[in-house]
């Protein structure tokens, strides 16, 4: 009987409506600023000449968003993100073959994300995010003084983003933000010049959420 009561009490605590203080902090319009690491997923970044080598690897990333409260447990965010194109593995392979080349480029995206609140306990908030996204990708290789654009990274592509964000308030208007997500852009690359036509990235980031 006591065990059942204890379990019931724990469930009630987990599902309880947050305090008015926490709700007021969590449901206001806010701005998020984060930095982290973005990892390519799948074969899209591998070399079509030497498939065992990654032409595009993981790299640092930054994200910024403006989050607008829609109701007690929903918000809508407009987000922008940037990740550098990291071709160090391909550059190292070329160096081992006695050649010198440099790779540069960027993977930028913007997204409109619906964010339902999954859980709020005390000063901590966990929410899902899901919505459409646009990718603006570019890249090039400089070899022997000549520039060769990466056609499979050219142009704009439509896709989507899904993720989770955890926010813990450390002050009245400031929260620490931890976030993991997946960005998927079907048919974003040219199958003739890349092993896969879909660009998939997994950005992991940490930063601040500032409530206005």
pLDDT tens string 98-121:
888 898 889 999 999 999 999 988
pLDDT tens string 17-61:
333 444 444 468 999 999 999 999 888 878 777 878 888 889 999
pLDDT tens string 77-91:
999 999 998 888 888
**What is the structure's pLDDT at 57?**
87
CB 105 within 8 A of CB 138: yes
Q: E strands, the chain, where? A: 30-40, 59-69, 74-84, 101-121, 124-143, 146-149, 156-169, 174-185, 199-211
pTM metric for this prediction: 0.78
For residues 128-155, b (16+ Cβ closer than 10 Å) or e, as one string?
A: ebebebebebebbbeeeeeeeebebbbe
Residue 114 vs residues 58, 127, 136, 139, 160: alpha-carbon distances, Å = 27, 10, 21, 30, 12
Per the DSSP assignment, residues forming a β-bridge with 105 are: 139
Average of per-residue pLDDT values in the chain: 83
Domains of the chain, with CATH numbers?
A: 19-211 (2.40.160.20)
Which is nearest to 136 in space by CA: 196, 206, 82, 60? 82
pLDDT tens string 124-178:
999 999 999 999 988 888 888 888 888 777 778 899 999 999 999 999 899 999 9
């Amino acid at each position: 009987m006591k065990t059942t009561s204890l379990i019931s009490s724990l469930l009630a605590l987990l599902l309880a409506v947050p305090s008015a203080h926490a709700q007021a902090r969590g449901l206001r319009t806010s701005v998020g600023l984060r930095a982290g690491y973005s990892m390519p997923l799948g074969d899209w970044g591998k070399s079509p000449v030497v498939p065992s080598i990654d032409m595009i690897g993981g790299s640092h990333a930054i994200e910024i968003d403006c989050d607008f409260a829609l109701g007690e447990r929903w918000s809508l965010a407009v987000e922008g993100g940037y990740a550098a194109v990291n071709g160090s593995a391909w550059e190292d392979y070329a160096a081992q073959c006695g050649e010198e080349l440099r790779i540069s480029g960027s993977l930028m995206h913007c997204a409109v994300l619906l964010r339902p609140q999954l859980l709020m306990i005390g000063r901590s908030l966990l929410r899902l995010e899901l919505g459409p996204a646009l990718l603006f990708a570019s890249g090039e290789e400089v070899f022997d003084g000549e520039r060769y654009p990466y056609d499979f990274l050219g142009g704009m592509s439509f896709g989507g983003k899904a993720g989770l964000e955890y926010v813990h308030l450390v002050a009245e208007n400031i929260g620490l933000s931890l976030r993991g997500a997946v960005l998927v852009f079907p048919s974003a690359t040219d199958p003739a010049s890349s092993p896969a036509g879909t660009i998939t990235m997994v950005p992991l980031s940490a930063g601040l959420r500032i409530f206005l």
